[in-house]
Amino acid sequence: MADDTTPDTPAPDADAAPDAATATAVAPPDADAPERLDQAVEITDAGPCKKHIKVTVQRKQIDARLDEKYTELVRSDQPQVRGFRPGKAPRKLIVKQYHDSVSEDVKTQVLMASLEQLADEQKVSPLSPPNLDPNAITLPDDGPFVYEFEIEVRPEFDLPDYKGLKLRRPTHTFTAAEVAAEQARLLEPYGQLAPKDPPVVALNDYVTADVVISFRGKELNRLTEQRVKVERQLALSDGVAADFGAKMAGARPGDTREVEIELGQELGAEGLRGQKVQAAFHVKDVKTVRPPELTRDLLEDAFGVSNPDAFGEFVRTVLERRLEYAQRQAARKQVLDKIAASSTWELPQDMLRKQVRQTLARKVMEMKNAGMGEEQIKGRRRLLEQDALRSTAAALKEHFVLQKVAEVEKVEVEEDDLDREVERIADRSGESVRKVRARLEKEELMEALATDLLERKALDLILSGATYEDYEWTPDDQGGEVATLAADAAPEADAGAAPPPPADDTGR
């Protein structure tokens, strides 16, 4: 972008009388309105999504403010200079004694007025406060007051046509077997671990194993007595085994299975980032989950239903909500692929790192709204964390595109929208509205919730004008469930927390 010097527009002449024909339609000048500063603004590019802003405030109005402050001191009825009665000290002595404090007051006053005027008059969309240190700025004794700073701003890009898109939509009719499998998953935390007979590993079993992890023949880590659930994928603190379930299926105690783990991009050891390491799982024990009895107390306390038939309907509702989530995610990806494909703008690394936590929080919120349980969310969150910068970059681009669509279409989020969303979260989680709101506010997620709602509205607007081609979807299209292991494949990574397994009726 070319340098853009934008001087302030001079304030209208307050003494000029309006035309007689329009006098009654013109509001009288606001006597209390602050005087507009005579300032010039230069805005230049300073890198991806960054602007360098230089502001020059002309001297005349600064001198007027200094004169006003000194006049107040001269006329004050409080003692100002030793040896002189109040109001009798020479102005030169007042200026000499109070120069530093008055200059600081005027600097603060002018700086705040200048920044407010800058926000009103310049088309800058900041993403964060400017890196401006008022203490490092001084008011000169002569000449204009100049200050400059850098600020992160929204990327500048043109939206392609997003109306009338043709999209593919996943559809699925859940079978009785899928309902039974989901029912077993929901009941699993209330069941007990029991020895499996015969002890042959299958999906959803728990194995205890010793694990040796190596890279190019060199041992990186050794883990003993690790109990882990067998899901399609396994997420460690610093890597993911995408085919864990397939590799472990059929193993018995005494068997060793080789599993490949892809390390994350945020690993401390630069030479291992994104590399694939080998993990040898030596199986020592195999257990399965013994489901609990479907008592009325269990069903009411855990799921808010009173009998097995109602529980079956509850499970179908959970699955349908999961399908809705998959449909929205598929549509969102297609929409963003189409309208963000031409967006070649870059995002600075420091911005991405600051946004990682917020992006993860919003993804977790979306999964909770889709009815996923805590264990499912932990596994998927671990996957997102493995490549946090890349996923955050994609999420930020989606955010900017949808925000721009919302701006163009005048989409807004009202307080009532937030209230309804909090009520919806409370209803799905079984918590009180007050408790949910308090938790969101404590975790500083209310702003993230508002952002999520705004983007959802913008996406809904795009989807409402789209045409669809349906295709068959299965839960495996999302990569299946993810088990977690609170351990590092490589010792440089930070360990996370693993979900506890169900109670073990063997006492181990």
Task: For residue range 58-70, list pLDDT tens digits in order.
Answer: 999 899 999 898 8
The superfamily in CATH containing domain 4-17+32-152 is: Trigger factor ribosome-binding domain (3.30.70.1050)
- pLDDT of 429: 73
- pLDDT of 245: 94
Question: Which amino acid type is present at position 308?
Answer: P
Q: Does domain 167-172+309-473 have CATH number 3.30.70?
A: no
- pLDDT of 497: 36
Residue 441 phi, psi dihedral angles, 5° rounding: -70, -40
Angle, CA of 262, 264 and 268, to the nearest 5°:
125
In Å, how far are 185, 225, 332, 379, 428 from 372, measured between CA atoms?
A: 11, 29, 19, 11, 10
Closest CA to 458 of 419, 505, 403, 502: 403
Residue 290 to residue 138: CA distance in whole angstroms: 73
pLDDT band at 344 (very low <50, low <70, confident <90, very high): low
- Tell me: cis bond preceding 198? Omega within 30 of 0 counts: yes
State the average pLDDT over residues 415-426: 90
In Å, how far are 15, 260, 384, 414, 495 from 237, measured between CA atoms?
A: 70, 15, 11, 39, 5
Please say if the pLDDT value at position 373 is more than 80. Answer: no
Residues constituting the chain: 508
Please say if the pLDDT value at position 187 is more than 90. Answer: yes
Task: For residue range 205-225, list pLDDT tens digits in order.
Answer: 999 999 999 999 999 999 999
- pLDDT of 13: 41
State the average pLDDT over residues 486-507: 55
- pLDDT of 329: 86
Mean pLDDT of all residues in the chain? 81
Q: Tell me the DSSP string of 262-309.
A: EEPTT-SSGGGTT-EEEEEEEEEEEEEEEPPP--HHHHHHHHS-SSHH
Beta strand 39-45 with 4-7: parallel, antiparallel or unpaired?
Answer: antiparallel
- C-beta separation of 489 from 261 below 8 A: yes
Residues paired with 170 in a beta bridge: 471
pLDDT band at 86 (very low <50, low <70, confident <90, very high): low
299-307, long-range: CB within 8 Å, 24+ apart, which pairs?
302/190, 303/186, 304/430
Fold agreement (4-17+32-152, 167-172+309-473):
no
Task: For residue range 87-132, list pLDDT tens digits in order.
Answer: 667 788 878 888 888 899 999 999 999 999 998 888 787 877 888 8
Please say if the pLDDT value at position 1 is more than 70. Answer: no
Task: For residue range 266-325, list pLDDT tens digits in order.
Answer: 777 778 888 999 999 999 999 999 999 999 999 999 898 999 999 999 999 999 988 998
Task: For residue range 130-167, list pLDDT tens digits in order.
Answer: 888 888 898 999 999 999 999 888 887 888 888 899 99
Task: For residue range 5-53, list pLDDT tens digits in order.
Answer: 433 433 334 333 333 333 333 344 454 556 789 999 999 988 778 889 9
What percentage of the chain carries pLDDT values higher than 70? 77
Task: For residue range 294-304, list pLDDT tens digits in order.
Answer: 999 999 998 98
In this structure, what DSSP letter does residue 190 have? Answer: G
The architecture in CATH of the region 192-290+481-504 reads Roll (3.10)
Task: For residue range 223-241, list pLDDT tens digits in order.
Answer: 999 999 999 999 888 888 9
Domain limits, the chain: 4-17+32-152, 167-172+309-473, 192-290+481-504
pLDDT band at 496 (very low <50, low <70, confident <90, very high): very low
- pLDDT of 81: 67
